[in-house]
Every structure is written in structure tokens, then in C-alpha cells.
Amino acid sequence: MLYIYILVFITGTVLASFIHVYVTRLIKGESIVFPRSHCPNCNHVLRWYELIPVISYLALKGRCSKCNSKIGIDSFLSEIFTGLAFLLVFIVYGFSYDTLLGFLIVLVLLSIFLSDFKEMIILDSTIIVGILLEYLILYLDGGLRSVYHSFMYGVFAFVLMFLIKILGDAIFKRESLGGGDIKLAFFMGSILPYNLFLISIMIGSSIALPYALYIAYTKKRSELAFGPFLALGLLIVFLLKNDIIELLELLIK
């Protein structure tokens, strides 16, 4: 079992490393394939042993092997986070389609985290690829019936989020939720039934609140990246969904 845990962790770090490259290049308007990964300071092209997730960063002590300039730590942190999150998903759901969905949620969360905090955008390709893979997994798991149900829940989440945006825009007299947040709601709603979707919004908002207050207090920015908190709320509720459903049933009785 230990080997499987290690394999799951490594898979997470490798995918995180890829997503980090994909997001940082796309938000800068660069091609994903070319040029090969290089040091932004001296353009030294990284060799294969300098591209191993987690390990290369530690071995190089966070510095370029040629010019000794510092390498950003965000790639390293993304890899550690994703590896651990993959492990957590696997511990909760084992060998199941829920594990695949969980992995997908983690990767979407990472991608949104990297683009939304840095550039205040959620890449369309993140959401589109996310939704396609999501529906592929749902189809493999439950067939067309499950796809149909998920789609209806997704539409519900999308419409609800859109209404919240219209209301928010009217109250705050500026854009309250971005288009990316609303598309993300469709992704979330397709995985969670409406009651769990609402809980995930509440959890995401509660985590966002201290951050929003901090931003408002320091006045660093007028806008708030809400996407990462929504996706975090989704991951938390997805991991706890069976307990939450049980709790809801107890409360209703």
C-alpha cells in the first residue's frame, strides 16, 4: 500500500508541475510547447534532471544551476500541495471514480489559484478542459442518466450564480463576480447536488471573508479573487460529502 501512496503523491506532483507551466505561460501569452523550460534570468535551458518535481528544487536549493539566481517557490509549493491533496483524496475514496473526480477538482483548484491570485482571471481552457474531463468521468461512472442529472444540477448552479452576480453588481455598483466564477459554478454544480453546492458556496465565502477584510483594510486591491475560495469550498465539501449528507439526513428527521 505504501508504494501506491507514493505513486499517488508523485502523480500529483508531476501533474502540478505541468499545470504550473501551462498557467504561467498562458497568462503571459506564451506557447505551452515552446520554448523549452528555461531560467528566466539567464535563459539556461533546463535539463531533464532539473525538471523533476519537488526533488530538483530541493537539490538545486531553489537556485538556477548556471547563474545561481533564485527560482520562484510557487512551482515547488504547487507540487507539494497537489501531491498531498491527491493523497488525501485517495485515502478518502480509494480506487473509485470519486477519486478521479477528486484529482480533477484539485487540479482545477490549483490552476485557478495560480491564475486568479496573480492575474485576477480564470482561464477559459481550465474550465472547458475541466468540464470535459468531469463529464467523461461521470459518464464512465453512471452512464447517460448520471450525466443528465449532473447537467441539470450544473445549470441550476450556473443560473443561481448568475442571479447572485446581477444582484451583487446592483448592490456594489461594480462587477461583483467575474464570468469565470459563474462558469466555475457549472463545474461545481455538476459534481455536487444543489444542497451540497450551496454548502460549498457558504464554506468558500467564509474562508474568503478574512481575506476580503484584509484586502479592504490594506487597500492593496479593490477587487477580490473569489474563484480560488469557491474551488476550495468545492474540494472540502467533496471530501466530506458522505458525512455532510448523513448529517443533513439526521437534521431533517
Residues 48-77 that bind Zn ion (CB under 5 A): 64, 66-67
Q: Cα-flanking dihedrals φ and ψ of residue 110, to 5°?
A: -60, -45
- Please state, in angstroms and rounded to a whole number, the distance separating the CA atoms of residues 74 and 241: 30
Question: In whole angstroms, how close is the CB of 37 to Zn ion at the nearest point?
Answer: 12
For residues 63 and 118, which CB has a smaller minimum distance to Zn ion in the complex? 63
How far CA 43 is from CA of 1, 39, 67, 198, 209, in Å, comes to 42, 5, 9, 47, 41
Measured on CA atoms in the order 73, 78, 81, 84, is the torsion positive or negative? Answer: negative
CB of 54 to Zn ion, least distance (A): 20
CB of 64 to Zn ion, least distance (A): 3
Sequence-distant (6+) residues with CB within 8 A of 102 are 89, 90, 92, 93, 235, 238, 239
Site map 207..236 versus Zn ion, x via CB under 5 A: ------------------------------
Which of these ranges, 40-48, 182-190, 201-209, 210-218, lies near Zn ion under the rule CB under 5 A? Answer: 40-48
Q: Is 42 in the site for Zn ion (CB under 5 A)?
A: yes
Residues that bind Zn ion (CB under 5 A): 39, 41-42, 44, 64, 66-67
